[in-house]
Amino acid sequence: MNTVRFFELATESFEVLGVLSMVVGFLFAFVLAAWTWRRTADGGRAFTTLRQSLGGAILLGLELLVAADIVKTVTSAPSLTDAAVLGVIVLIRTVLSLSIEIEIDGVAPWKKAFVTGPQVLAQATRHSTRQDPDPHE
């Protein structure tokens, strides 16, 4: 296998994983929220679980899509146009990621410890499975 084909496959794999993580995360978020609602009969808690887990899935997908864009740009023939396109794509996805994180946590990311998309999903899962909800979360 030549190097060009390898990097094309790597880029396509990142893209597929990014989209797949959002789709699976979407399904997981709704199942987790429904389970939380059924178990606790607390619609607010279920909604919070849905928002947190769905936001985490989107963040993870965006991180993977940015990785795909970086691999694609780094491995292609260098051009100013490709670099500019990558810059705009990364900027847009970064703004989306920041706004989603602020929406989920209610605080800017630089005012708290760094949390990744998978960590947000794990926190949402722990929150939904806890027997005694913390009213401050």
Could you tell me the pTM of the whole model?
A: 0.68
Q: Which of 3-7, 37-41, 75-79 has the highest mean pLDDT?
A: 37-41
| Percent residues over pLDDT 90 in the chain | 18
| CA dist., res. 92 & res. 83, Å (int) | 14
In eight-state DSSP terms, residue 107 is S
**131, exposed or middle or buried, with CB in 10 Å at 0-12, 13-18, 19+?**
exposed
* 62 Cβ contact list (under 8 Å, min separation 6): 18, 93, 96, 97, 100, 117
**Per-residue pLDDT, 134:** 55
The pLDDT tens digits of the residues spanning 101-117 come to 787 777 776 666 666 66
The token pair at 47 is 């909604």
The pLDDT tens digits of the residues spanning 65-82 come to 888 888 888 777 778 887
